[in-house]
Structure 1
């Protein structure tokens, strides 16, 4: 899955060099579970803060747990593009932001403003004391490092989002558009029906628009078996598992009649 010969340290750099990465979501807000997932070999993990019942301190505890056992890149998913949500998470040291249900260029610009320092964004100069900059130890080069390594992802999860893909992708600082198929059913087919022909057609349309835009294409696989074909279609980043899903599957498999 690696078509580049030049090594790169950050997830963003590897993806821009056309590496293809398999990731997983972490919904359980459990540092212990996160450690197990970090040791499994995924190329990146996404700590969820859209649905998980945990605060900033909980997110930081998860990040520390993962970092204690692995160098796997860790993204965090948030529910909106507000600076109040995004900035503290990046200052804590997450490798990037995934913002749910982006529907317009206006929202995309808000994400970039919160995620990046001037002149691209409006992120405050907390690098003088922030954890991400080694509590100010990297103050001389952290801004450049953050611009180079912070991955900014907008999720496409609605009909409005699909229609606005060109506008969203055109916002400087948006690196990846990530297709979320379950929420996308709200605009295509019957809500929650991941097998509908309308949804499949919408995903194909979204894929083609994202690839044509020049942005990285990411998405959640409906089935883990879809992973190879998604990479063949040009996906840079695919999630095909979650801590919750794996626990449910393993629990059911462990029960003997």
Structure 2
């Protein structure tokens, strides 16, 4: 059996934007529904959704037959957790709150086998190797693994050039909610100084030959960030879409007890 190709990693090298959707329901059934809708990629969220390694595995299995590529976000950059996720078959990993090049290099190490890293060898126990059906997995795994680091703090923005320059980092993803909150604007990424940080981070990332992505559920934001050079943009969140549709549907029959609130953050 051949090593499974990572189509998302290959697509990042092309110029057309990749549109994604956040998958936050933490169930294989909901993830599979999302995978049938045609988005280029989906973010299976292990940070803010109630996911564990087994629930993430179930979602990977559920979406495997579809073209939408699963990007898994870890709750943090712990090397032991990363080992478990990669062994479960995660090909594209996103890690939140990366603020220094040192952190980025440690994440690259966690994703690679010795002598280039510290990833432990699971061999025939792991889904990643298709239970030892993939020949020479240890030597070739890195070719199809994709590491996305999140910049979502003022310190991360200041160190964006050094972070993007780290070999083994494939892409940078900007988190507007944490960035704006950390800058004193409580999730309001529309503030000029936040927008300036976002644009500078995009430009810095591109200058180092890496792809840049961002979360932008509002259409005007998504189009602006795409114009600025973002290659992969999450333009929807499944939980928000369901809630908005449910509120709008009920409003057709009964006056709402309170105004519908559409979040500009998540």
TM-score, length basis structure 2: 0.87
- Secondary structure at 2:189's aligned position in 1? coil
Q: Look up the match of 1:211.
A: 206
Q: State whether residues 40 and 67 of structure 2, in contact with CA within 8 Å, keep that contact through their aligned partners in structure 1.
A: no
Aligned: 1:81 with 2:95: no
Select the residue among 232, 242, 245 that pairs with 2:237.
Answer: 242
Offset, 1:183: 0.5
Q: State whether residues 176 and 216 of structure 1, in contact with CA within 8 Å, keep that contact through their aligned partners in structure 2.
A: yes
Offset, 1:222: 4.9
Q: Look up the match of 2:258.
A: none
Offset, 1:100: 0.4
Q: State whether residues 189 and 198 of structure 1, in contact with CA within 8 Å, keep that contact through their aligned partners in structure 2.
A: no
Q: Look up the match of 1:132.
A: 128
Offset, 1:178: 0.6
Q: In structure 1, what is the Cα distance between the partners aligned to 2:168 and 2:202?
A: 20
Deviation track 1:1-20 (CA, whole Å, cap 9, x = no partner) reads: xxxxxxx8521112123443
Deviation track 1:163-221 (CA, whole Å, cap 9, x = no partner) reads: 11111112211111111101001333422223212211111121121111221111111
Q: Look up the match of 1:40.
A: 37
Select the residue among 24, 29, 44 that pairs with 1:27.
Answer: 24
Q: Look up the match of 1:121.
A: 117
- Secondary structure at 1:248's aligned position in 2? helix
Q: State whether residues 6 and 91 of structure 2, in contact with CA within 8 Å, keep that contact through their aligned partners in structure 1.
A: no
Task: Go from structure 1 to structure 2 and tell me whether the alpha carbon gap of 1:157 and 1:128 turns closer, same or farther (over 3 Å shift).
Answer: same
Aligned: 1:155 with 2:135: no
Structure 2 unaligned blocks of 5 or more: 255-266
Q: State whether residues 194 and 222 of structure 1, in contact with CA within 8 Å, keep that contact through their aligned partners in structure 2.
A: no
Q: State whether residues 188 and 202 of structure 1, in contact with CA within 8 Å, keep that contact through their aligned partners in structure 2.
A: no
Deviation track 1:205-242 (CA, whole Å, cap 9, x = no partner) reads: 21121111221111111513333333332211111111
Aligned-residue Cα RMSD (Å) equals 1.8
Q: Look up the match of 1:5.
A: none
Task: Go from structure 1 to structure 2 and tell me whether the alpha carbon gap of 1:145 and 1:22 turns closer, same or farther (over 3 Å shift).
Answer: farther
- Secondary structure at 1:111's aligned position in 2? helix
Q: Look up the match of 1:3.
A: none
Q: In structure 2, what is the Cα distance between the partners aligned to 1:145 and 1:20?
A: 28
Aligned: 1:196 with 2:201: no
What pairs up with 1:51-90 in 2 under 5 angstroms?
Answer: 51-67=48-64, 69-90=65-86
Select the residue among 138, 144, 147 that pairs with 1:143.
Answer: 138
Pick the structure with greater CA Rg: 2
Q: In structure 1, what is the Cα distance between the partners aligned to 2:26 and 2:74?
A: 14
Q: State whether residues 189 and 197 of structure 1, in contact with CA within 8 Å, keep that contact through their aligned partners in structure 2.
A: no
Q: Look up the match of 1:223.
A: 218
TM-score, length basis structure 1: 0.90
Q: State whether residues 124 and 130 of structure 2, in contact with CA within 8 Å, keep that contact through their aligned partners in structure 1.
A: no
- Secondary structure at 1:102's aligned position in 2? coil
